[in-house]
Every structure is written in structure tokens, then in C-alpha cells.
Amino acid sequence: MFLNRHKNHLPSADEALRGRTEPEFDVPARHTVLGKQLTGPYPADLAVVDFGMGCFWGAERKFWQTPGVWTTLVGYQGGHTPNPTYDEVCSGLTAHTEAVRVVYDPALVSFAELLKVFWESHNPTQGNRQGNDSGTQYRSAVYTHSPDQLTGAQASRDAYQQILTKAGYGDITTEILPAGPFYPAEPYHQQYLDKNPDGYCGIGGTGVNLDSPSETNWGRSCPTGIAPAGD
């Protein structure tokens, strides 16, 4: 009951769990599908963005299947507790959301195209919930790594809101903020659906498509936001 009281309340920094100075586990060196390194620093010609869209198992697979994505890893973003564990994040007492870090080559896939995958792969109007998964760790979020990414994410949200409203959906609740510290999740979470192909996914969109980035004003004006990101 103690934990359930916090599932839909984001704690302040003073309320959050204290955490630890070092992680309790080591992160695998390589992506099991893409073969690239999981943690930074990454090659300088790549860009980074962090997405929260419900359970990070299915979210990660969506992006490692996207052409132009160099590597992905799952972790915890947007909270206060340093080096949290999965159980701590699920308690609602760290303020983190489950996130997938997407490292991509802007010469092969644009930020606008990644945003299209993001919006269409979940329901961004559900607040602290995604499908049957409930709690602040399942909130929708975009954590950006450059001012251009921030502007592009906000513009794409506004464009998608107009389309969702016409389709009968409510307001988008997606958190769009500059990225804070990203803490990789435990090894068993990394590329979970590659290791467990029949495992739980939990990813499902509204069925409402965002216009092709090449055909919209937000897509044409949305820069790639290159950032080496070594945190």
C-alpha cells in the first residue's frame, strides 16, 4: 500500500529516494542485435535522444528496428535518484520514467522521422499510464540533447495534437524537456525482446498517423540536433 500511494505522484528532489554514488551493476558492452557499443561516448557524427513511451522493452525494439539507428539502450530518465534500481523506479519514489536512449546517424534518419515513430507507437494522451501499465514510470516523454531537438519535439507535438483532436483524442501529456542524467537499466532489461522474443511488449499506438515529416512544416524545419552525449 505504501508503494501504491506514490504510483501517480511525482516526488520532489527532497521526497525522492537517496540513491547511490555508483550503479549496482555493470552494463553489457555491446547491443545484442546491432552489435554496437551500448554506452557513450559515441562517435561525434551521431546524435542522441531519449524517449519514454511506456514499458521500455517494446519501445527499445521499435527503435532498434528503425533504419539509421546506430544503437539503443534502456534506462531511467527524468528523475532525481542517482543510480536507481528497477524496483526503486517502479516504487514511484525516484521520479524517473522508463526510457530508451536512441543513438542515430542523422545522415540516415532524421530527428523528425524518429519523432514519427515515437508518436505513432504509443498513446501520448494517457498521463501516468500506457495501456495496462500504470504509474509515473510509464509516462510519455521526450528528453532532448540540443535546443534544436527541443524546438523540433515541441513543434511535432503541436502538429500531432491537431491530428489527435480531430480523431477524438484528448490533450497530449508528453513531457518534453532537456535531458538530465540517464541511468542505464539492469543488464536483463537491455534488448529484452531480442533475448525473449515472446516476452511482454506493451507497445500500442492510437492508430492515428502523423503526416510524413517530408510533407509538413514541422518536418521541414526540424533539425537533427547532433549531440555526442557522453553521460
Give catalytic residue positions.
Answer: 55
Cell of 227: 549531440
Cell of 175: 513531457
Dihedrals φ, ψ of 90, to 5°? -65, -20
Map grid coordinates 527532497 to a residue: 14
Map grid coordinates 551500448 to a residue: 38
Report the candidate in 112, 93, 92, 94 with the shortest Cα–Cα distance to residue 104: 112
Tell how far CA 143 is from the center of its chain: 7
Cα→Cα distances 178→52, 145, 206, 219, Å:
13, 6, 26, 20
Asked whether 24 and 204 are in contact (CB, 8 A), the reply is no
